[in-house]
Amino acid sequence: MRTPFIAGNWKMNMTAAEAEAFCKELKELYKKQGEVKTAICAPFVRLAELVEYFKGTEIKVGAQNCHFEDSGAFTGEVSVPMLEELGIDYCIIGHSERREYFAETDETVNKKLVRLFASSILPILCVGEKLEERDAGKEKEVVGAQIRKDLEGLTAENVKALTIAYEPIWAIGTGRTASPEQAEEMCGYIRSVVGEMFDAETAEAVTIQYGGSMKPANASDLMAMEDIDGGLIGGASLKAQDFNQIIEF
């Protein structure tokens, strides 16, 4: 059985003071010990603070990107060994905002996944189609191709420990959530592609999240679907009460 996994993606939000208040409030509200996996993926400059705030709790900390090289002339980048030193547990890779605004490709995504699996940090891989691709009926073709390229060269053991977030781009930050049926169809499809690439046991083990305008009001309907194991939450992860309500789906 897969354990539900609810992760917040703060994106480029949260000052030091806002983050401190959030963590204090979430720790007080958090009652799901042992029942769900929970993480907050924060900007690099917040990571050390969050590790400290959540020490002794089940709430894990993640980054939102990394470089695939360990060191060198890559101005502005942060390497996996640097993140490991902070004691974080997760790293989002291939978010659509990074693919769109920062020239992330399936090739760099794949290199980052390979590097992370040689570390103590587990990746959360984001995939998803654009509105025009869905309107053209190409969502499975697009997402299937992403999965095949992104997971190339990984082992079945890697993929069993992987989280894949299906985030249709038209649902991100738009208030337009995919229906539970639309989200389930795509998460089930992703699981079937993993099954074809690896084996049935790996497909059964991989954690698949839905992301895109997930909030307290729609979390339980989405989480009730068989192939949706969790959520990657943007806007609703900025308020501790909303995020905790999703954890309590």
Where on the chain is the footprint of ligand 13P (CB under 6 A)? 9, 95, 167, 172-173, 211-214, 232-236
Q: Which residue has the tokens 């539900």?
A: 4
Q: How far is the CB of 134 from ligand 13P (least distance, A)?
A: 16
Of 43, 55, 37, nearest to 18 (Cα)?
A: 43
Q: How far is the CB of 16 from ligand 13P (least distance, A)?
A: 22
Comparing CB distances to ligand 13P, the nearer of 95 and 112 is: 95
Comparing CB distances to ligand 13P, the nearer of 139 and 167 is: 167
Is 95 assigned a catalytic role? yes
Catalytic pick from 95, 97, 133, 139?
95
Q: How far is the CB of 233 from ligand 13P (least distance, A)?
A: 5
Contact predicate 177/207, CB 8 Å: no
CA–CA distance, 48 with 51 (Å, rounded to integer):
5
- Which tokens is 211 given? 């992301």
Is 167 assigned a catalytic role? yes
Contact predicate 32/6, CB 8 Å: no
Comparing CB distances to ligand 13P, the nearer of 202 and 218 is: 218
Comparing CB distances to ligand 13P, the nearer of 128 and 144 is: 128
Contact predicate 79/100, CB 8 Å: no
Comparing CB distances to ligand 13P, the nearer of 43 and 195 is: 43
Q: How far is the CB of 223 from ligand 13P (least distance, A)?
A: 15
Residue whose beta carbon is closest to ligand 13P: 234
User: Mapped to the 3 state alphabet, what secondary structure does 46-105 carry?
Assistant: HHHHHHHHCCCCCEEEEECCCECCCCCCCCCCCEHHHHHHHCCCEEEECCHHHHHHCCCC
Q: How far is the CB of 205 from ligand 13P (least distance, A)?
A: 22
Comparing CB distances to ligand 13P, the nearer of 11 and 198 is: 11
Of 7, 33, 15, 3, nearest to 236 (Cα)?
A: 7
Long-range contacts of residues 243-247, Cβ cutoff 8 Å, at least 24 apart: 243/6, 243/8, 243/26, 244/26, 244/29, 244/30, 245/216, 245/219, 246/6, 246/214, 246/215, 246/216, 246/219, 247/6, 247/30, 247/32, 247/36, 247/38
Q: How far is the CB of 95 from ligand 13P (least distance, A)?
A: 6
Catalytic pick from 129, 139, 167, 184?
167
Active site residues: 95, 167
